[in-house]
Amino acid sequence: MLKIVVPLTGSPSRGKIHRSPLPLVLTEIDSQPLLETIVSKLRPAGPHHFIFVTTRDDARRWAIDDVVRQIAPGCSILIAPSAPANPVFATLLAIDEIESEDELLVADSSRIFEGEIDPFLSHARRLSFEGCLPSFRCTHPKWNYLREEQGEVLQVVERRPVSDQAAASAFWLRRARDYFDAAEQHVVRHLDRSEGEETNTVVNELVLAGRRIGNWRIPSRHSAPSMESAASNRSHKLKSTHNFIDS
């Protein structure tokens, strides 16, 4: 079964729009938390199981664990005693929930997945590679970018448009053990890293370990904005949270 790991902590998800401590994934747009859009974009038609990582503080203060249960019934929710330094650290908390041979999809919660999940998974599974990282055309330096050759990812470069293919917010591994081995190595190399990192940077460790990672180019008509852009572009639909925050 496909396991989908979504860290809700360790990412720059607060105060970007309405300057409040409310997690950005709970920003209300069209009468629903933005997290619901994130999950719906990641939910495939086939068998799957969501695993979310949040913090004790967010569960207590914002009931984010209860929100997640309504959005993804039957999911697993892991509650960290304190906020992990970044999303890669947070994903490692899910290691005991996943079998080493499970398929794995790792997704950041700071962005909405830019493509359509089922066509992406179909493409990834057809490849002979160990993983697949989708990308979309862009040149803005706020994203991570791919160096790739003939459909194979060679490197993920942070915040530099070394190509016109920006790394999407989720990627797939044929075997979960490959991700966790690479993520552990990544953490050792980047102990000083904090907010701002995306999970797709683990692809570099996978490549160094000899794993072949394919690329799927998202059709431009399907590309989606970051959560910050989506919320900003539709800010007139946001409901004020200040009374709730001040209470």
pLDDT for residue 243: 39
Measured CA to CA, the distance from residue 228 to residue 46 in angstroms comes to: 29
Which residue stretches of 108-246 are H helix? 117-126, 176-189, 203-208, 227-233, 242-246
Q: Which two tokens stand for residue 118?
A: 């089922």
More confident residue, 34 or 2: 2
Measured CA to CA, the distance from residue 80 to residue 53 in angstroms comes to: 7
- DSSP characters over 200-216: GGGHHHHHHTT--EEEE
pLDDT for residue 247: 39
Query: Model pTM?
Result: 0.88
The chain-wide mean pLDDT, for the chain, equals 87
The pLDDT of 146-170, averaged and rounded, is: 97
Q: pLDDT-based confidence at 101, cuts 50/70/90?
A: very high
Measured CA to CA, the distance from residue 54 to residue 150 in angstroms comes to: 38
Measured CA to CA, the distance from residue 28 to residue 83 in angstroms comes to: 23
Q: pLDDT-based confidence at 10, cuts 50/70/90?
A: low
The pLDDT of 169-197, averaged and rounded, is: 88
pLDDT digits (tens, 9 = 90+) for 53-87: 999 999 999 999 999 999 999 999 999 998 887 89
Q: Is residue 19's pLDDT more than 80?
A: no
More confident residue, 161 or 110: 161
Question: Helix 64-71 crosses helix 34-42 at what angle (to 10 degrees)?
Answer: 40
Q: Which two tokens stand for residue 176?
A: 């979960």
Q: Is residue 104's pLDDT more than 90?
A: yes
The pLDDT of 195-206, averaged and rounded, is: 87
